Amino acid sequence: SAVISQKPSRDICQRGTSLTIQCQVDSQVTMMFWYRQQPGQSLTLIATANQGSEATYESGFVIDKFPISRPNLTFSTLTVSNMSPEDSSIYLCSVVRDNEQFFGPGTRLTVL
């Protein structure tokens, strides 16, 4: 299994500001994933983060809005930039181990 922690667990932010979400895994992984779950919706992949290279973004997501860092094999951050109320979602970090995908507890973001 994989133990994943995220910080913060929740936050309320003002529009126009930015929030950085941290994801820590209990052991080294090659790829880390960031998902978004909008209210009442399913999960959508934002990007895949490999250590030492630029993140790969899915259609509809751009680096300027969701910059990602991956400084080592156990840690990643996702920043939600210039926030608007439409960014209110749960953001989840995920890793794959032994062909199984594990998810962090999520960060619940509310933008006013």
Partner 1 sequence: AQSVTQPDIHITVSEGASLELRCNYSYGATPYLFWYVQSPGQGLQLLLKYFSGDTLVQGIKGFEAEFKRSQSSFNLRKPSVHWSDAAEYFCAVKSGGYNKLIFGAGTRLAVHP
Mapped onto helix, strand or coil, the DSSP state of residue 79 is: strand
Q: Is the dihedral of CA 83, 36, 62, 23 positive or negative?
A: positive
Closer residue to partner 1 in complex, CB, 22/48: 48
Measured CA to CA, the distance from residue 86 to residue 83 in angstroms comes to 8
Asked if 73 touches partner 1 (CB under 8 A), the answer is: no
Amino acid occupying residue 97: R
Asked if 23 touches partner 1 (CB under 8 A), the answer is: no
Asked if 42 touches partner 1 (CB under 8 A), the answer is: yes
Closer residue to partner 1 in complex, CB, 77/107: 107
Asked if 48 touches partner 1 (CB under 8 A), the answer is: yes
Asked if 13 touches partner 1 (CB under 8 A), the answer is: no
Measured CA to CA, the distance from residue 57 to residue 34 in angstroms comes to 10
- 24: exposed, middle or buried (Cβ count in 10 Å: 0-12, 13-18, 19+): middle
Asked if 92 touches partner 1 (CB under 8 A), the answer is: yes
Amino acid occupying residue 14: Q
Which one of the spans 13-21, 37-45, 65-73, 75-83 is the region binding partner 1 (CB under 8 A)?
A: 37-45
Note the residues at the interface with partner 1 (CB under 8 A).
Answer: 31, 33, 41-45, 48, 58, 92, 94, 96, 99-106
